[in-house]
Structure 1
């Protein structure tokens, strides 16, 4: 057994450059598969269904999507497509310059208005196994939080378009392969600094473990920074379309925070572990990558409004 481990370590050391290239390349390919072939993965996952058939997007939402593409001034509108998705907020994957194109899912509640909330109330939302009563106080608050003005809807779609237009998925996908490559760099640097290249195997193993820990820490910090950079950048580009889009963004995040506060109340103690009193989402664990808080994204848009006033 020990001979096999030593032989494997020797081969790994001898061919470390090809192994590193293949490992990083494979990890990048795995991360990008979701966005390279969104029609086979993402769209199948988020497509809304009814009675065994995929739901078609309404003419109103198709018009909304085309309006956003025109307002944003995308360079290749043919690279974008939209579909009816489940959930209550737009989702997106892919890139307009990849063969699979960019796919944006629009939820049914975007067809709803305060006068006609059918896209919301005709659906059942379950909290802890119980359906939310739309005519209750909490149900009414949740319904109101899911009704968006046309400006808020356009902003919500535009931020997804902006994220895909600048290659946000690719930027995020690169972080893990780079972090893996840095593990090899850290390992070589530590062994060089401590003179362990010809040292005992246990010490070299300890150096490798230390390099792995540094790589994991690098991944967490860089992923968080990149995630927030992409999110704030998408908000900024969507808001830059017009002041109306900026105001719509403020409304969108206000409604999102209200939605989360209502769920926090409905879920009781469980909700307090998931949602903060402000409406932000707590990370599931300390090692989970942190996204920009919704309150910060709303305040960021408010500052843009003040600067343009």
Structure 2
């Protein structure tokens, strides 16, 4: 008897079933910790992972960018006692992002890309920008488009910072954790219930494998749907709130998404087949079957006051 067959027979014993139960419980705990620890206790280590370094030293934010972050907090009317929770840092890459939650004492980190440091096209450090480890041909049409997309006005930067701050004020992170835990534990619970109710333990192994695949697909699909739905919901609500809250956000959002669309179009051309897989011809992120975010073009049209 092969090792696989011996293991399969052992899993059908009472001892094997108990082992599966404890393994499912341990996996649930791992999923819970994997979602919460990087956003709370290990938030500083998470920041270090994405922090921009140059010549072995971390790159600080410029005073100008730091003041714009403070202005974003002012416009959002964040109370003085809570302002210490929000900390920006210089991050590598083209995209602004955030981590943590304002509901935790560990606070929020907002990663600011270095092109937020630029005042105009002449100040862009072209030598430091690489696409697939190759220098950009700035004289080409896509190079000019990329260069133009990297320079953001004060309003556009403030909107981007405010958007990340508002996202970390939502329950998105907690919902993702709950959905992940429920999806996994639900998959185990449903499978175990079906095994007992229909006596599948006595059936041929392929029957159980098919059932596990169907239940797994259902659980994963439910997880993806809930995660993406909540992301799109909060992004839509935040854009609506910011646009109505202050003209700075309204004008900044319009410019910000115009620049993102232009950047994606430029990268699509520069990256060839890889770019076509990553971005659509309109400048949206190209997803195979998921709906991870509100399409960039749709957000752009929203701030321009048009229907997508």
TM-score range, shorter chain: 0.7 to 0.9
Counterparts of 2:196 and 2:269 in 1: how far apart (Å)?
A: 56
The aligned runs of 1:101-140 (5 Å cut-off) are: 101-114=107-120, 117-118=122-123, 120-140=124-144
1:301 and 1:189 mapped to 2: Cα distance? 49
Residue of structure 1 equivalent to 2:203: 200
CA distance in 1, matches of 2:100, 2:255: 27
Question: What SS class does the counterpart of residue 112 from structure 2 fall into?
Answer: strand
After superposing the two structures, state which structure 1 stretch, 293-302 or 31-40, moved more: 293-302
Q: Specify the SS of the correspondent of 2:64.
A: helix
Q: Partner of 1:222: helix, strand, or coil?
A: helix
Please state if 1:223 is matched with 2:249: no
The gaps in structure 1 that reach 5 residues or longer are: none
Rounded Cα–Cα distance in structure 2 between residues aligned with 1:246 and 1:172: 29
1:155, 1:239 within 8 Å by CA — same for their partners in 2? no
User: Could you list the per-position Cα deviations for residues 246-296 of structure 1 after superposition, in whole angstroms to 9, with x for gaps in the alignment?
Assistant: 22112111110001111122233432232211001213x55x663221112
Is there any run of 5+ residues in structure 2 with no aligned partner, and where?
Answer: none
CA distance in 1, matches of 2:270, 2:208: 53
Cα distance change on mapping 1:240 and 1:117 into 2, 3 Å: farther
Aligned residue in 2 for 1:296: 298
2:11 to 8, 13, 16: 8
Do the aligned partners of 1:172 and 1:227 also contact (CA within 8 Å) in 2?
A: no
**8 Å CA contact retained: 1:24, 1:181:** yes
Alpha-carbon shift at residue 109 of structure 1 (Å): 1.7
Aligned length: 299
SS at match of 1:209: helix
- The corresponding residue for 1:98 is 104
Q: 2:184 aligned with 1:180, yes or no?
A: yes
Match of 1:55 in 2: 59
Contact 1:79 1:97 in 2 (8 A): no
2:252 matched to which residue of 1? 248
Does the 8 Å CA contact 1:49/1:55 hold for their aligned counterparts? yes
Q: C-alpha displacement at 1:50, in angstroms?
A: 1.7
State the 1:16 CA deviation. 6.6
Aligned to 1:85: 91
Of the three residues 152, 162, 171, the one matched with 1:158 is 162
* TM-score between both structures, scaled by the size of structure 1: 0.84
Tell me how far 1:241 sits from its aligned partner. Answer: 2.9
Runs of 4+ in 1 over 6 A off after TM superposition: none
In structure 1, how many angstroms separate the alpha carbons of the residues matched to 2:112 and 2:157? 10
* C-alpha displacement of 1:245: 0.4
Give me the CA root mean square deviation. Answer: 2.7
Partners of 2:17 and 2:70 lie apart in 1 by: 54
Label 1:30 to 1:129 Cα distance change in 2 as closer, same or farther (>3 A): closer
> Conserved in 2, the CA contact under 8 Å of 1:276 and 1:282?
yes
Q: Does 1:233 align with 2:240?
A: no
TM-score, structure 2 normalization? 0.85
Kept in 2: contact 1:20–1:181 (CA 8 A): yes
Q: CA deviation at 1:170?
A: 2.6
Shift of 1:18: 5.6
Pick closer, same or farther for the CA change 1:5–1:257 going to 2, 3 Å.
same
Matched residue SS, 1:40: helix
Question: Is contact 1:159-1:237 (8 Å) kept?
Answer: no
1:46/1:86 contact within 8 Å kept: yes
1:144 partnered with 2:162: no
